[in-house]
Homo-oligomer: A and B are copies of this chain.
Amino acid sequence: MGLISVKAGATVVTQLELPMTMRQSDLDRVKALPLFRDASPETFRDVTAGAFLQRFPAGTTLLLEGDTVDFLYVLLDGIVELQGSWKEKDTTLAVLRPVSTFILAAVVLDADSLMSARTLERSEILMLSGQALRRTMHQDAEFACAVAHELSGCYRGLVRAVKNHKLRGGTERLANYLITQRIRQGMKDTITLPHEKRILASLLGMTPENLSRAFSSLSAQGVVVHGPEVTLTRPEALERLARPTPLIDNHMPPQSRLLGKGEVESWSDSPGYA
């Protein structure tokens, strides 16, 4: 258990690294996740049995498309990008921030991953045994329900993504992205893009060049860009163009995690877990 194999970049590197002993505060953050919030102490103990905490440098590939999945990953600190690829191209499916789980669906089915995962920044990741998770689901109906809830939220996030892509053009997707960010960042007039523009471009399904041009075409709606700061001087005009709808755009504010249980669907940046 001291020898951990990690894929870094294109090549596979084996490095000697002691699994971190978990801090209680980390455990508390995990316990606060929708997935575990209502779990009994015993269930939580079962599912975290044999779990270990691991730190990865930026740019580390945690998982390649097609890999078999042995763990449920929980991002505690840092940023993780999920991506899919085909024929030399790749596309960003989601960018995750703490605290998020990922590749839950593959773990539940004990199947290969359909996407790659890599750290964008130095990250701290908790790895829970997939086997333990599946076993616990069979033992505890409440926990299995929590998993089903989580999966339902992820599923609906992807339905939104498909509609977003098939029904809207690039500039419309960007406009809606900006409106969503504005709401999530507290309705301030100026928002901060949470990642590099080239990753945002990939998330929105366009090239960096076209993202640039989409931004400048939105200047007609009062969108002003200064590096990662974007000011929305005429939000109404932007909304008229964007036509956001709750049937596509999930405007939930980030603090929704504190809400009771009704669940607010999945979340992170753009739909998509695993």
Measured CB to CB, the nearest residue on chain B to A83 is: B163
- The reply on A6 being an interface residue by CB < 8 A is no
| Residues 124-152 of A contacting B (Cβ, < 8 Å) | 137-142, 144-145, 147-149, 151-152
Report the minimal beta-carbon distance from A266 to chain B, rounded to whole angstroms: 10
User: Which of these, B86, B140, B245, contacts A163 with CB under 8 Å?
Assistant: B86
| Residues 187-215 of A contacting B (Cβ, < 8 Å) | 205
- Docked CA distance A163–B21 (Å): 37
**A residues neighboring B (CB under 8 Å):** 65-66, 84-87, 89-91, 93, 104-106, 108-109, 111-112, 114-115, 137-142, 144-145, 147-149, 151-156, 158-163, 165-168, 205, 243, 245-248, 263, 265, 272, 274
For this complex, 28 residue pairs linking A to B, each with C-beta atoms less than 8 Å apart, are: A84-B159, A84-B167, A84-B248, A86-B163, A86-B243, A91-B167, A93-B159, A105-B152, A105-B156, A108-B148, A108-B149, A109-B152, A111-B265, A137-B141, A137-B145, A139-B141, A144-B145, A144-B147, A144-B148, A147-B148, A148-B151, A151-B152, A151-B155, A155-B158, A161-B162, A162-B165, A165-B165, A165-B205
